[in-house]
Amino acid sequence: MNLGWVWLFFLFFNYCVLVSSLNDEGLALLSFKQSISEDPEGSLSNWNSSDENPCSWNGITCREEKVVSVSIPKKKLVGFLHSSLGSLSVLRHVNLRNNKFYGSLPVELFNSQGLQSLVLYGNSFSGSIPTQIGNLRYLQSLDLSQNFMNGSIPKSLIQCKRLRTLDLSQNNFTGSLPFGFGSGLIALEKLDLSFNQFTGLIPSDMGNLSSLQGTVDFSHNNFSGLIPASLGKLPEKVYIDLTSNNLSGPIPQNGALENRGPTAFIGNPGLCGPPLKNPCPSGTPGADGPSSFPYLPGNSPAVTADSEGGKTGKSKGLSKNAVIAIVASDVVGICLIGLLFSYCYWKFCSCKKGKDESGGHFEKGSKGRKECLCFRKDESETLSENVEQCDLVPLDMQVGFDLDELLKASAFVLGKSGIGIVYKVVLEDGLTLAVRRLGEGGSQRFKEFQTEVEAIGKLRHPNIVTLKAYYWSIDEKLLIYEYIPNGNLSAAIHGKAGMVSFTPLPWSVRLQIMKGIAKGLSYLHEFSPKKYVHGDLKPNNILLGENMEPHISDFGLGRLANIAGGSPTLQSNRMASDKQQQLQHAPSEVMTVSSTMSLGSCYQAPEALKIVKPSQKWDVYSFGVILLEMISGRSPMVQVGTTEMDLVRWIQLCIEEKKPLGDVLDPFLAREPEREEEIIAVLKIALACVQTSPEKRPSMRHISEALDRLIAASD
């Protein structure tokens, strides 16, 4: 009995020694580990109490055996943020982005007064920002985007004078911005408040944020009142996004707000004046903008003599003809100077643009730097602002790669069309992406491109391909998408050229694909921020995932290609010589790019030949043609004797001639007679979609609901 007690005491003593061997900071981190309920990748597996300190643990960085950084991003950790992190006395950086943390931010975390960066985006945190955030006088980066946080921004945030990055986008924050926001946070370089519920006025002191760069995003909130003219004081290279708020009144035309396109202001019904087409009512302050005539010193307000030799307070100034003559002479003078400058430039400058060849890796084009005899780039800004954007811009918070990784990756040509080449790119860590090269043309519309591509990048739906990042430089424009592995719908319906064996899709799979496409289009039409139109829907740009779920691709592609300025006939042929064979022998997951214009036109609504601007009813018609193609198994162009007709006309002809259903159906579907009622129901939906009159076509939301009911009834 006594011997047993001795053994128990010995074991307990050893356990105490093991635990006590770990320093206080290690114990604090073990408390943090205990608050994590799931660690599927074993990221914290080497956090052991037997160590003397935590400096060798995964995600931990120390300096002089003191923890300065806790960085565990993208590890699928589930749990809450333990207050023990606040006891790490010299903590400088916390990065827990893209995990599954929940709950509120512990007040104790803000005891680490030396904290410089707090990056928590892409989790499920809730609650408000503690007022104790004002303690973090050295804080430079605060990123809480893509969470479920609410409440208003505490006034104490203004005390974080060194803050450079503030990203609160995609949360549920409310209230107005605190007084002194612009004059207090003068070190800000990035500001994103989009997709929240902020209210009130945009502070007039925002113009003091002279260090801002890139896009300042106020979009998708409830800001109201006038746009403060002081925003024009921001650096002219800054793009100010004010879309989808409740702003009203005239748009100031000064500085950073001047010469901007309408895309920065849409979604504010109360705004008026250029660049919008909505003119301001007469009498509105600032509605008339600058005077039509230039201000001439001594002319306004002048005191002139009247006919009696007295004085009157009204100024006649120069006559209208005199002013017009002055303006005309100025214009002529400027034109002459411009012509002289152009002549000198082309006479004495000799510019050469470098070319390169890419080999087995995905290489971007040469920088295309122009070496001019009369100008150097650092002496003359010959291109528009920000076009030399030589870095990858992520649109998805889960993007964990950079430009160097992308350029070093293995690449395989998937297809080529009038809108660039598409590559399958495999990074070193195994991540697979689809990269579309838009070409080399264009350099003057970067801001417009940036606005469009970032709007597309915000779309998130399981049936729409995600645009993850983009790259823009003078001679190269790239779009980086998620990779969808199972090819496109056209190949799934008809097979691919040269395929030895082909198994048609069963009806149940086809029905699920139809349902997914309808949901994706319904999202674009009804629930996306701007109620978009695809405008070019066809089976070639409907990609199929691992479980044959559909993903609509190429949304907005034509618009982006037009802005980028790449000519379809002048696409780069680099990589083509050693990659074309891969296209012919590409695996089944290849994302084929159609170049057959005659087939593509079969999916266009009849009114598309007359109306330039696409409508949602165009997409409905295209969807109807796709349904008919999936039901019949036939191509969009049907051979009838010696002539061809489009699939819609052929189906209508079969109905007029009262041919049996078996003549219309894909023969493979005839093996499923129990599905006949469902097939007929979908056929009726398809025929409603391809009505000649757009007004008679149903909306995608109603179509999606009808397919949902049909599938629910069959289960």
For residues 493 and 484, give the distance between their C-alpha atoms in angstroms, rounded to a whole number. 17
In 144-294, beta strands by DSSP E: 148-151, 165-167, 172-175, 190-192, 197-200, 215-217, 222-225, 239-241, 246-250, 270-272
Beta bridge partners of 70: 60, 94
For residues 557 and 542, give the distance between their C-alpha atoms in angstroms, rounded to a whole number. 14
Tally Cβ neighbours within 10 Å of residue 329.
Answer: 10
**CA 573 distance to own-chain centroid:** 28
For residues 452 and 454, give the distance between their C-alpha atoms in angstroms, rounded to a whole number. 6
Return the percent helix, strand and coil in the chain, to nearest 5: 35, 20, 45
For residues 404 and 190, give the distance between their C-alpha atoms in angstroms, rounded to a whole number. 23
Number of Cα atoms under 13 Å in the Cβ half of residue 695 = 0
Pair 620, 703: CB distance under 8 Å: yes
Q: Which of 192, 536, 646, 666 is catalytic?
A: 536
Structure token digits, residue 309: 């030799």
List, in sequence order, the alpha helices (H) in 23-131.
Answer: 24-34
Q: What is the dihedral of CA 627, 669, 553, 698, to 10 degrees?
A: 20
List, in sequence order, the alpha helices (H) in 128-195.
Answer: 181-184
Pair 635, 494: CB distance under 8 Å: yes
**CA 324 distance to own-chain centroid:** 47
For residues 220 and 455, give the distance between their C-alpha atoms in angstroms, rounded to a whole number. 12
Nearest-Å Rg of the Cα atoms of the chain is 32
24 a catalytic residue: no
For residues 504 and 638, give the distance between their C-alpha atoms in angstroms, rounded to a whole number. 19
List, in sequence order, the alpha helices (H) in 285-319.
Answer: none
Tally Cβ neighbours within 10 Å of residue 328.
Answer: 10
Coil, strand or helix: which one is 663?
A: helix
Pair 419, 405: CB distance under 8 Å: no
For residues 459 and 456, give the distance between their C-alpha atoms in angstroms, rounded to a whole number. 6
For residues 192 and 454, give the distance between their C-alpha atoms in angstroms, rounded to a whole number. 13
Structure token digits, residue 506: 């069963």
Tally Cβ neighbours within 10 Å of residue 101.
Answer: 20
Question: Counting runs of H as helices and runs of E as strands, what totals does the chain give?
Answer: 16, 31
Coil, strand or helix: which one is 610?
A: coil
Pair 651, 687: CB distance under 8 Å: yes
Give 585's contacts (C-beta < 8 A, 6+ positions apart).
none
For residues 285 and 250, give the distance between their C-alpha atoms in angstroms, rounded to a whole number. 8
Active-site residues: which are they?
A: 536
